[in-house]
Structure 1
Amino acid sequence: MFELCQVGENTYYINYPVKVGVYRANENEVYLIDSGNDKNAGRRIMKKVLDENKWKLKGIINTHSNADHIGGNAYLQQQTGCKIFTSGLEAAFTNYPVLEPSFLYGGYPFKEFRDKFLLAQPSNAVDIGDPDFPNELESIPLPGHFFDMIGIRTPDDVVFLGDCVSSRAVLERYQICFIYDIAEYLDTLDKVETMEAAVFVPSHTEAVEDIRGLVSINREKVYTVSSRILSLLRTPMSFETLLKHLFTGFNIAMTYDQYALIGSTVRSYLAWLKDTEKISASFEENVLVWKTKKTDSKCSMKY
């Protein structure tokens, strides 16, 4: 699967496991929106898209710094000298990608956490405030999934959404999809739900003209996971015990990558639920124990 799909006069995306946007600034120069998941993705973009169309790569705009979105950066920058743009903390994670597995693991990541799925090669990125950022492209703040994720709207009214929404199939397969900040993610879903565009291009599902259905199922999944956590915490338990119950209950296979991604996400859910006073935490025999505040009430979340 590696097909260049046109969705506007000058806007395309590469149909790949992580969709890569292509904006043609003029007859000869293009910008990429994300770069794929590894060096091989960068090499294929160079050969099958840039070289075959005789396009010069002017720059790469990363929606955020997860390894599957910046994996082709280093190769493409080395080959072309292109500039790479991203937003806020995403630039730090792009320049120093060991920050991602370190953040997910909560310390220095052992080798199983230093694979290409969590650790990209470093590339030199600057903030989107840089004067060379193409001013015809609109950057849209979309925090929540990651620190300072952005979307990009092209002059063709095509909006690239990064990892704002996942497909129903992905949600059913993984059940708990990675989110850094639950409150900001829900705010971003509300924002995206009211947006209008000719075409929306999420990174991990099909392009659509109406984004509201995808927003709805992603919001529903957040509350499904929240309710499951609240229900489980009627019985006070530690994080590791909670994580085991969630993996078992959702029929998720425990792997190193899933432990890092889902474990980090569950901690984010716990932070959100504690900050909104749905749960409490205390230390018992030197173990941090989580529990619902009202164990005799039905565990439900307001939509």
Structure 2
Amino acid sequence: MKLQNVFGNTYFVKGGTNTGVYLFENNEALLIDPGLNGLRPKNMIKMFENEKIIPKYIINTHEHEDHVAACGQIKHSYPKVEIIASENAKIFIERPELFSDFILGGKHNKFLTAKLFHRNVEKIYVDTIVDEGTLNKNNTNFEIINLKGHTLASIGILTKDGVLFAGDLLVGEEVLNKYDFLFLQDVEEYLKSLDKIQSLDFNYLVLAHGRKVLDKDSTMLLINKHRQAIYKYLNQIKENLKVPMNIDTLLKKIIKENELTYNYKEYYFFRTSLVTCISYLADLDEIDYTLEDSDLLYYTKIK
């Protein structure tokens, strides 16, 4: 395991979730999304010890376990590290069972817990809440950008080296080609966040889930592919709902039409994204619902 330099003092550590590292002049560090707990953070801590790097801050782009679970492990080794997140992310980071409740739409169960949570995750507490604007740490400015959509708590971090960490707003093209039905909590906010990134002044993007660092031109192309994926599913939903149907029947058709693979967790992730898309189309007054024979059916409005 080693630090990969992006530009200037901005680095990252490769992994299932790439971890951002900004090195200050005194060899203290700000980490972005430390990832899952277990062997990887253990090896990352060894690397820090070998390089005489002291993690001083951790910023979480959002609350999902594959981004935040290692916070407790790093905090155990570096008790003075300051854990930072948005206000909404703090709620879910400190009470992860709420995410399971949200996904199911009620009390979480053992089936989802087995898929969603890894064992031996230390309790995590967020020390500092941030919102959009300038964050100064160690006399260095970082820009915090609200990037809602994937979750309502999502933020991005832009270093003074012009390197952007955008959490799960974007995934690598190889991931997108495989899983283009993106997990979203708010389609409208997600599309706004894509627009925001396009107008942002940055030079490089480090994907949380991707194999390479992107320059700005490559990022613009990837943004367009994400936008196309969103509209692909919105159009499919409207087409399918020319015949009224309930959520689970519609989800079955979406899964079959796109040959999506899934387990228990991913089924509910897809269902959440589908409900989110339906809410977006309802807000646009493009679909409506009816109650028939003890069922709730959605349908596309004829204009």
TM-score (norm 1): 0.91
- Within 5 Å, give how 1:207-218 maps onto structure 2: 207-210=213-216, 211-218=219-226
Tell whether 2:70 aligns with 1:72: yes
- Of 105, 127, 130 in structure 2, the residue corresponding to residue 128 of structure 1 is 130
Change (3 A) 1:271 1:42: same
- Within 5 Å, give how 1:1-303 maps onto structure 2: 2-48=1-47, 50-81=48-79, 82-115=81-114, 117-118=116-117, 121-125=122-126, 126-128=128-130, 134=137, 136-205=141-210, 206-210=212-216, 211-294=219-302
> Do the aligned residues in 2 keep the contact of 1:42 with 1:71 (CA within 8 Å)?
no
**Alpha-carbon distance between aligned partners in 1 of 2:142 and 2:201, rounded to the nearest angstrom:** 16
Range 226-235 or range 250-259, more displaced: 250-259
**Alpha-carbon distance between aligned partners in 1 of 2:135 and 2:233, rounded to the nearest angstrom:** 42
Unpaired runs of 5+ in structure 1? 298-303
Change (3 A) 1:143 1:215: same
Give deviations 1:99-127, integer Å, cap 9, x for gaps: 11111111121112113645665301131
> Do the aligned residues in 1 keep the contact of 2:288 with 2:299 (CA within 8 Å)?
yes
**Alpha-carbon distance between aligned partners in 2 of 1:6 and 1:115, rounded to the nearest angstrom:** 36
Unpaired runs of 5+ in structure 2? none
**Alpha-carbon distance between aligned partners in 1 of 2:166 and 2:24, rounded to the nearest angstrom:** 20
SS at 2:114's partner residue? coil
**Amino acid of the residue matched to residue 122 of structure 1?**
K
**Amino acid of the residue matched to residue 213 of structure 2?**
A
**Alpha-carbon distance between aligned partners in 1 of 2:97 and 2:42, rounded to the nearest angstrom:** 22
> Do the aligned residues in 2 keep the contact of 1:67 with 1:116 (CA within 8 Å)?
no
**Alpha-carbon distance between aligned partners in 1 of 2:180 and 2:258, rounded to the nearest angstrom:** 7
Change (3 A) 1:11 1:280: same
* Aligned residue pair count: 292
Structure 1 residue 133: deviation in Å?
6.0
Change (3 A) 1:122 1:103: farther
Identity %: 28
**Alpha-carbon distance between aligned partners in 1 of 2:247 and 2:115, rounded to the nearest angstrom:** 27
SS at 2:42's partner residue? helix
> Do the aligned residues in 2 keep the contact of 1:66 with 1:118 (CA within 8 Å)?
no
SS at 2:74's partner residue? helix
**Alpha-carbon distance between aligned partners in 2 of 1:116 and 1:38, rounded to the nearest angstrom:** 15
Structure 1 residue 250: deviation in Å?
0.7
Give deviations 1:211-265, integer Å, cap 9, x for gaps: 2101100000000010111111111101010111111111012311111211111
Structure 1 residue 42: deviation in Å?
2.1
Q: Which residue of 2 aligns with 1:300?
A: none
Change (3 A) 1:97 1:227: same
Range 62-71 or range 133-142, more displaced: 133-142
Structure 1 residue 43: deviation in Å?
1.5
Structure 1 residue 288: deviation in Å?
1.4
TM-score (norm 2): 0.91
Range 274-283 or range 181-190, more displaced: 274-283
> Do the aligned residues in 1 keep the contact of 2:115 with 2:264 (CA within 8 Å)?
no
CA RMSD in angstroms comes to 1.9
Structure 1 residue 273: deviation in Å?
0.6
**Amino acid of the residue matched to residue 107 of structure 1?**
G
